[in-house]
Copies of this chain bind each other. A is one copy, B any other.
Amino acid sequence: MTYCVGLLLDSGLVFMSDTRTNAGVDNISTYRKMQSWCVPGERFITLMTAGNLATTQSVVSLLEERSKAESDRNPSILEQPSMFRVAQLVGNTLREIIETQSGEGQKADATFSATMILGGQIAPGPMRLFLIYPEGNFIEASEDTPFLQIGETKYGRPILLRGFDPKMTFAEAIKLLLVSFDSTLKANLSVGLPFDLQVYEKDSHEIGYRNRIELDDAYYHAVSDGWGEALREAFKRIPPYEMKE
A interface residues with partner B (beta carbon < 8 Å): 154-159, 161-163, 169-172, 174-176, 178-179, 183, 186-187, 199, 209, 211, 219, 222-223, 226-228, 230-235, 237-243, 245
Copies in the complex: 2
Partner of A158, one of B175, B187, B230, B240: B187
7 A-B pairs with C-beta separation under 8 A: A154-B155, A158-B159, A163-B231, A174-B243, A175-B235, A178-B241, A226-B238
Docked complex Cα distance between A161 and B222 (Å):
18
A238 B209 Cβ-Cβ under 8 A = no
B245 A162 Cβ-Cβ under 8 A = no
> A243: nearest residue on chain B (CB-CB)?
B209
Docked complex Cα distance between A240 and B169 (Å):
10
A238 B179 Cβ-Cβ under 8 A = yes
Docked complex Cα distance between A171 and B242 (Å):
7
Docked complex Cα distance between A163 and B231 (Å):
7
A184 vs chain B, min Cβ distance (A): 8
A201 vs chain B, min Cβ distance (A): 11
What B residues does A238 contact at CB under 8 A? 175, 179, 222-223, 226-227, 230
Docked complex Cα distance between A211 and B241 (Å):
12
What B residues does A199 contact at CB under 8 A? 243
A243 B162 Cβ-Cβ under 8 A = no
* Centre residue among A178, A183, A245 by max chain B CB count within 10 A: A183
B171 A186 Cβ-Cβ under 8 A = no
B230 A187 Cβ-Cβ under 8 A = no
Docked complex Cα distance between A154 and B170 (Å):
27
> A163: nearest residue on chain B (CB-CB)?
B235
* Centre residue among A154, A161, A172, A174 by max chain B CB count within 10 A: A154
A237 B232 Cβ-Cβ under 8 A = no
A171-B233 contact in complex given A186-B158, A187-B154, C-beta closer than 8 Å: no
Docked complex Cα distance between A174 and B235 (Å):
12
